Structure 1
Amino acid sequence: MKNQSCESSEDLKKYQHYLYAVVYSVILAPGLLGNLLALWVFRAYVKETKKAVVFMMNLAVADLLQVLSLPLRIYYYLNNSWPFGQPLCMVCFYLKYVNMYASIFFLVCVSVRRCELIMRPLQYNSSRRKWDMLICASGWFLVCVACLLFPLLRTQNQKDKPNATDALDVCFAELPMRALSPPAAWALLIIAELLGFILPLVLVMACTCLTAWSLQHPASGAIPDQGEKRRALRMVLSCAGVFLVCFVPYHVTMPLDFLAKSDSLQNCALRDFVLRCHPITLCLASINCSLDPLMYYFMTNEFRRRLSKHEIPDGGNISRRLSCMTGEDVQSSNSTTEMS
């Protein structure tokens, strides 16, 4: 039976709305400007480099999708009402999870590609580049289909409203969940944790370890330039850092939040603690749309130099300026001037 003493209090709702409104307001401007600027930079380089940039461009698009939904979210959390209708509520709710798991997917792609270009640079040729676009398209398809479960598992009681376009009292994570049998609910949670969190985490950490290992153990076929390896390691470490800061806390609290909202936690103090911690981890997951541009610009000197120019550099200089992101061939790396 539902424990009436553990009902969510009005204070808890005010706390959550205040937290979301503040965090989303803070990340709105830098997330919007940073990702638009990233797309502008990537547009200049995408045809001139090995396609690691393609994954970063798609990562910026995923972040931009979330940023564009933030003004409506801020309005809801400030006014405690959603006057835009249930369909738009579901779309904004859906985009949140599309951004999260698309970001995870493309962070893994960037890490794997940078590690691959360091460990096996000669095996990446023009025929392999064609697969990058297919990987991106497949990733978007899988993420968009899988994330449909999040809005489909939510419902909205419209019995007292003449149509579904009227103002809603609740939206987003406050929408009531549809009833699921315990086996079905646990199966969905386990699949989401394994495919959306644990497997990507293992891949990112493995790429980080392999790239770091290449600095200490030069292998045949790997890029011998230690400076290039260090630049690659910084990029892979930045991907791992964004992953650990933004997505690990959320996926730790997600099963507990599910148990709390399904009234499976009998201890009211524990339930209140989970419901207060989970919004914090959800905000951390949202901050990735502002951290990703920092990764692009401040983990590499090349992007800062690009942004200081008024014109797009000529094709002969692009490879040198983006070597740390795209893993240029050994011959090109050895022939360029050492970057600061």
Structure 2
Amino acid sequence: MNMNNSTCMNEYQWGSGSFRFLVSAIVYGLVLAVGLPLNAVSLWILLRQHGLRSPGAVLMINLAASDLLLALSLPLRVYFYATLQWPFGASACTAAIFLFRINIRMSCIFITIISVDRLLALVFPLRSRSLRTSAFACKCCLLVWILTTILCIPEGIDLHRALKSCHYMSCFEFQVIIKGARTTTLGHAIFLLMLLMVNIVSTVMVIVVLRKRPVGDGTKVNNKMSVVLIFVVNMLVFIVFFLPFTLRILTFDAKYDGEVLRALICLASVNCCLDPLIYYFSLDSFWQVKGKTQTEAVFYSLSRSQERL
């Protein structure tokens, strides 16, 4: 991609958005204060108590790691919006933006994979056992990290080159217009909408299955409300934090919508404070599968290792 145009703000332009800058500093500061310790503790608990013994635990460990990295990118945003200065240079700005964007995208993917994993465990508990293994989950997560990072590298390179041309470093308020970027942006938006649809379909399927499942069914689900809440929380995270941002991307006009888009990006960052709800409801949910013999019995739970009944 070749850079076509860029927007470098000057000191005079800061006055027009002073209120938004103050709100951004406050919101990012609150997300940092809540999200950093919350995700650090969640990651520690997941690693210490559950490790990599189940596919669900593997997925949630990766989601917690992604959210933690996102939170670690926020101190520089708080400093920038609080002081309206950026003395750290183009490389530090690019790294902070790159870390934020890549982990926002990975959070969307991991949340969706968690929903799919739960759906398979509930609807196809026996047939999905060969697919739902810790090893396969680790490979999927590794693939997500690698592909997402690689796809974001060209964007980061173009951003760094454009930032170096600015006399006044506006960092997170900087906007670069890249030839062909509209197609890439639309691709990202469509991908996020597809992930949202997967979460919606998974939620509806689970509700239908739980309502139709007879009491004496071979697969018994304890605490149905907690099971449904996993899917509902995942779906609401997308609708509240990612859907507004995605819809704005689809109708984005660089001349008029820059401030609105940045405000919605700020809103999307709040997601990392609510993802621990997914861990909580998941750890309280169980899928108990009864086989014909003791060796075929499997007790699935993210709050403890698998046990034979």
TM range (shorter): 0.7 to 0.9
Amino acid of the structure 2 residue aligned with 1:185: A
CA spacing shift, 1:245–1:221, aligned 2, 3 Å: farther
Q: Report what 1:105 is aligned to.
A: 109
Structure 1 moving runs of 4+ over 6 Å: 219-222
- What value does the CA root-mean-square deviation take over the aligned residues? 2.9
Cα deviation digits, residues 27-86 of structure 1 (max 9, x gap): 112101111111111113434753111111101111111111111111111111111121
Aligned match of 1:89 in 93, 98, 109?
93
Q: Report what 2:20 is aligned to.
A: 16
Q: Report what 2:169 is aligned to.
A: 169
C-alpha distance in structure 1 between counterparts of 2:166 and 2:108, whole Å: 38
Does the 8 A contact of 1:215 with 1:230 survive in 2?
A: no
SS in structure 1 at match of 2:163: coil
SS in structure 1 at match of 2:28: helix
Q: Report what 1:134 is aligned to.
A: 139
C-alpha distance in structure 1 between counterparts of 2:276 and 2:267, whole Å: 15
User: What is the Cα deviation at residue 179 of structure 1?
Assistant: 4.0
C-alpha distance in structure 1 between counterparts of 2:250 and 2:129, whole Å: 42
Superposition map of 1:196-275 within 5 A: 197-218=192-213, 224-257=219-252, 259=253, 261=254, 263=255, 271=256, 274-275=257-258
Amino acid of the structure 1 residue aligned with 2:289: D
Q: Report what 1:30 is aligned to.
A: 34
Amino acid of the structure 1 residue aligned with 2:20: Q
Q: Report what 1:117 is aligned to.
A: 121
Q: Report what 2:274 is aligned to.
A: 291
User: What is the Cα deviation at residue 189 of structure 1?
Assistant: 2.2
C-alpha distance in structure 2 between counterparts of 1:16 and 1:149, whole Å: 29
User: What is the Cα deviation at residue 152 of structure 1?
Assistant: 3.4
Amino acid of the structure 2 residue aligned with 1:193: A
Does the 8 A contact of 2:89 with 2:169 survive in 1?
A: no
C-alpha distance in structure 2 between counterparts of 1:12 and 1:149, whole Å: 32
Instruction: From the two aligned structures, give the one with the greater strand fraction.
Output: 2
Instruction: Count matched residues.
Output: 282
Q: Report what 1:310 is aligned to.
A: none
Amino acid of the structure 2 residue aligned with 1:291: L
C-alpha distance in structure 1 between counterparts of 2:198 and 2:121, whole Å: 15
C-alpha distance in structure 1 between counterparts of 2:218 and 2:275, whole Å: 26
Does the 8 A contact of 2:189 with 2:246 survive in 1?
A: yes
C-alpha distance in structure 1 between counterparts of 2:214 and 2:121, whole Å: 13
1:185 equivalent in alignment to 2:145: no
SS in structure 2 at match of 1:148: helix
Amino acid of the structure 1 residue aligned with 2:75: P
C-alpha distance in structure 2 between counterparts of 1:47 and 1:185, whole Å: 40
1:281 equivalent in alignment to 2:267: no
CA spacing shift, 1:62–1:223, aligned 2, 3 Å: farther
Amino acid of the structure 2 residue aligned with 1:177: V
Cα deviation digits, residues 275-304 of structure 1 (max 9, x gap): 44323311221001111123323x36xxxx
Q: Report what 2:306 is aligned to.
A: none
User: What is the Cα deviation at residue 159 of structure 1?
Assistant: 7.2
Normalised to the residue count of structure 2, the TM-score between the two structures is 0.81
CA spacing shift, 1:247–1:171, aligned 2, 3 Å: same
C-alpha distance in structure 2 between counterparts of 1:78 and 1:141, whole Å: 34
Does the 8 A contact of 2:222 with 2:287 survive in 1?
A: no
User: What is the Cα deviation at residue 199 of structure 1?
Assistant: 1.3
Amino acid of the structure 1 residue aligned with 2:93: C
Name whichever of 26-35 and 47-56 sits farther off.
47-56
Does the 8 A contact of 1:46 with 1:53 survive in 2?
A: yes
C-alpha distance in structure 1 between counterparts of 2:241 and 2:52, whole Å: 31
Cα deviation digits, residues 297-328 of structure 1 (max 9, x gap): 3x36xxxxxxxxxxxxxxxxxxxxx461x634
SS in structure 1 at match of 2:175: coil
Amino acid of the structure 2 residue aligned with 1:137: L
CA spacing shift, 1:143–1:186, aligned 2, 3 Å: same
Normalised to the residue count of structure 1, the TM-score between the two structures is 0.74
Name whichever of 247-256 and 120-129 sits farther off.
120-129
Amino acid of the structure 1 residue aligned with 2:175: P
